[in-house]
Amino acid sequence: MTKYSVKKYDQNDYTIWNEFITQAKNATFLFHRDFMEYHQDRFEDFSLLVFEDQKLISVLPANKVGDSIYSHQGLTYGGLVYKEQTKLVQVIQIFQAVLLFLNENKFEKLQYKTLPSIYHIKPAEEILYSLFLTNAKLVRRDSLSVIDLSQENVTSKIRKRGFQKAISNQLEIREETDFESFWNKVLIPNLDKKHQAKPVHSVEEMNYLKSHFPKNIHQFNVYQDNKIIAGTTVFETETVAHCQYISKNENQENLGSLDYLYYYLIQERFANKKFFDFGISNENQGRNLNEGLSYWKESFGASTIIHDYYEVETSNYNKLNGIFV
């Protein structure tokens, strides 16, 4: 284990971090520092870099809260990032080095958020075995509604009726570069009315992210007579088209706007992706399921992928001693 050294990220690591992310088998643009740092005022960054003989072999996007380190709370998913060439034994050793480093720096727990398998460029579940070996405790489990676009998927009759209704109502779908209309006229009013909440991202933040990741972030709006009535924000990675925000005006219930929009996204716009990810329908740290929302997603042909969260005692680094035979 002495051949691995761990250090906390600082701005001097910006270039090597981002270059590593582009070469990893389990990373997306969310792990690029330009994405991670758009909300740096909200989180105390404690991302880690792991080196083997001066060569960067792994990174961990993370932030600090008290005596715990979290897989970065500003990201949808997270975990140890490594390249295709990194073998299972090495991942175990890297994870041990990370836990030891955190333990020596007086952090008691690592709150570890995984990267769902659909986002892996190649299989990358070595870390799940490492978590098992360190007696990691499962503390949260979300259910993602996902369509495997490589297979034939059945869209329900009710969704098809919605699609036809939208055509008869002469709805129009536009892919746009600004977020103001959707945010101000649809998303913000709906979140406030239904949940007394605001979007995680402000319009200014979305414009910033779009300017840095123009090929990855997309806004689709639905119009009737040039008036916006619905929309969705999509984050596109190498393997997945993920719906970050979905909303429609409540008084447009019978127009078929979202059925029309998602039929287009699944059947045409992102048909060449491996997966279409509607995201979660969970609340209360995965303990509750929004039944109606889950049904709506499944009626497009989606089924379930699991996204797990773990808690690891950093002192459990010693459980990885003597496991190789």
pLDDT digits (tens, 9 = 90+) for 262-307: 999 999 999 999 999 999 999 999 999 999 999 999 999 999 999 9
Q: What is the mean pLDDT of residues 182-189?
A: 96
Name the token pair of 319.
């459980």
What are the chain's domains? 4-142+307-320 (3.40.630.30), 151-273 (3.40.630.30)
Burial class (CB in 10 A: 0-12, 13-18, 19+), 323: exposed
Query: Does 251 score more than 80 pLDDT?
Result: no
Query: Nearest 10 degrees: CA dihedral of 223, 219, 193, 158?
Result: 60
How far CA 166 is from CA of 15, 50, 135, 173, 222, in Å, comes to 47, 52, 51, 10, 10
Least confident of 24-38, 68-82, 182-196, 259-273: 182-196
Query: Does 232 score more than 70 pLDDT?
Result: yes
Which alpha helices (H) appear in the chain, and where do they start and end?
Answer: 14-23, 33-36, 88-104, 126-133, 157-168, 180-182, 188-195, 203-212, 257-264, 291-298
Pair type for strands 172-176 and 48-52:
unpaired
Distance of alpha carbon 324 from alpha carbon 314, whole angstroms: 20
Q: What is the mean pLDDT of residues 159-183?
A: 95
Give residues with Cβ within 8 angstroms of 206, minimum separation 6: 179, 183, 217, 233
pLDDT confidence of residue 197: 87
Length of the chain equals 325
Which residues, listed in sequence order, are joined to residue 311 by a DSSP beta bridge? Answer: 111, 137
Distance of alpha carbon 166 from alpha carbon 172, whole angstroms: 9
